[in-house]
Structure 1
Amino acid sequence: MARLEHLNITVRDPDAVAEELCTLLDWRIRWAGPALGQGRSVHVGTDDAYVALYRPEGGVTDPTAPRHQTHSGANHIGVVVDDIVAAEARVTEHGYVPHSHAEYAPGKRFYFEGPEGVEIEVVAYP
Structure 2
Amino acid sequence: MTAHLEHANFTVSDPAATAAWMCDLFGWHIRWQGAAKDEGHTVHVGTDAQYLALYAPKASQKPQRSSYTTIGGLNHLAVTTDDLDALETRIKAHGFMTGNHADYEPGRRFYFHDHDNIEYEVVQYG
TM over 0.5: yes
After TM superposition, the score normalised by the length of structure 2 is 0.85
Unaligned runs of 5+ in 2: 66-72
Unaligned runs of 5+ in 1: 65-72
Residue 63 of structure 1 deviates from its aligned partner by: 4.0
Residues of 2 paired with 1:28 and 1:38: CA distance?
A: 24
Say if 1:62 and 1:108 are closer, same or farther in 2 by CA, change over 3 A: closer
RMSD: 1.7
Say if 1:95 and 1:62 are closer, same or farther in 2 by CA, change over 3 A: closer
Map 1:46-85 → 2, pairs under 5 A: 46-60=47-61, 63=64, 73-85=73-85
Residues of 1 paired with 2:97 and 2:62: CA distance?
A: 27
* % identity of equivalent residues: 47
After TM superposition, the score normalised by the length of structure 1 is 0.85
Whether the aligned pair in 2 keeps the contact of 1:81 and 1:87 (CA below 8 Å) is yes
Higher relative CO (CA 8 A, sep ≥ 6), structure 1 or 2?
A: 1
Aligned residues: 118
Whether the aligned pair in 2 keeps the contact of 1:17 and 1:116 (CA below 8 Å) is no
SS in structure 2 opposite 1:95?
A: coil
Residues of 2 paired with 1:115 and 1:61: CA distance?
A: 13
Say if 1:23 and 1:115 are closer, same or farther in 2 by CA, change over 3 A: farther
